[in-house]
Amino acid sequence: MRMPLIAGNWKMNGSLSLVEEFGRAFAGVSLPVNVEVALMVPFPYLGVAGQALGETAVTVGAQTLSDRPAGAFTGEVSGAMLRECGARLVLVGHSERRALFGEDDAAVLARVQAALHEGLTPVLCVGETLEEREAGRTEAVVLGQLEAVFEALDTAERSRLIVAYEPVWAIGTGRTATPEQAQAVHAALRERLARYDETLADGMRLLYGGSMKADNAAELLAQPDIDGGLVGGASLKVDDFLAICQSAG
C-alpha cells in the first residue's frame, strides 16, 4: 500500500509571511490520515518553515542540493546543511535545474547520492519536452533519466527514492497531461522498476507534476499508478494546496 504524497514546490517564490500563513492554515485543519504532505521551500525559509509547520503533519523539503559535502563551493548548499535546517526531502533533477542550470544525468545522480548519504529522501524528477513527446520519444527519455540514476544504486538505496514524472510541457503552462497520458507513463516507469525488483516497483511512490490544480487533482490521483502530486503554482495559495491535499485522501 503506497501512501500518497502531495509535495508543494515553491520554486523561487514565497516570503516569510507566506510560510507563517501556511503554518497557521495547516495547524487549523485536519488532513486525511492516509496522505503525506511536504513543502519544498527556498533555502532561506527552511528553518522558519520547520518552526511554523512543526506542529503540523507537513514535512519540509528543499529544491536542490550540492553534490559535494563541504568546501570552497561558493553559493552551494550541502545535504548536511539541509538536514540540519530541518529538510527531510529534496528535489533532484527538476526540469528547471536540468534546462536552466545544465544538470545532466551525471549531475543528477551525484546529487541523489549526496542526498542519500545525508539521510535525505531524494525526489527524482523525470520528464520529456514537447518536442520529445511529439517525436514519440516520451518513454525513451523518461526511462533513460530513471535508469541513469537507478542503475548506479543498490537495492537499499533505490528503495529510498521517490520519483516524480513531470512532463516539461505541462510545468507552469496550465496544460496538464490527461489522466490517461500520465497513467501511461507512470505504468511504464513502474514496469521498468520491476525489472530491478518487483517489491521495489510495488512500493515506489510515483508522483505526477505539471499544472496540478484543485480542480484536476482528484482525477489524476485516481489513476492506479499515480501516488501523489508535485505541485508548483498551486502550492503558493494555501486554499488551493489544501484542497489538493484533501483530494488525495
**Any idea which residues carry the catalytic annotation?**
94, 166
Shortest distance, position 230 Cβ to ligand PEP, whole Å: 5
Query: Residue 217, interface with ligand PEP (CB under 6 A)?
Result: no
Query: Residue 230, interface with ligand PEP (CB under 6 A)?
Result: yes
CB nearer to ligand PEP: pick between 11 and 111: 11
Site string for ligand PEP, 72-101 (x = CB under 6 A): ------------------------------
Shortest distance, position 30 Cβ to ligand PEP, whole Å: 25
Site string for ligand PEP, 151-180 (x = CB under 6 A): ---------------x----xx--------
* Residue where the block lists cell 492554515: 25
The answer to whether residues 226 and 182 touch, using CB atoms and an 8 Å cutoff, is yes
The three grid cell numbers given for residue 13, joined into one nine-digit string: 517564490
d(C-alpha 111, C-alpha 80), whole Å:
12
Query: Residue 211, interface with ligand PEP (CB under 6 A)?
Result: yes
The answer to whether residues 145 and 93 touch, using CB atoms and an 8 Å cutoff, is yes
Query: Residue 231, interface with ligand PEP (CB under 6 A)?
Result: yes
Q: Which residue is nearest to ligand PEP (CB)?
A: 232
Shortest distance, position 216 Cβ to ligand PEP, whole Å: 11
Instruction: Show Cβ contacts of residue 74 under 8 Å, excluding neighbours closer than 6 positions.
Output: none
Binding site for ligand PEP (CB under 6 A): 9, 11, 166, 171-172, 209-212, 230-234
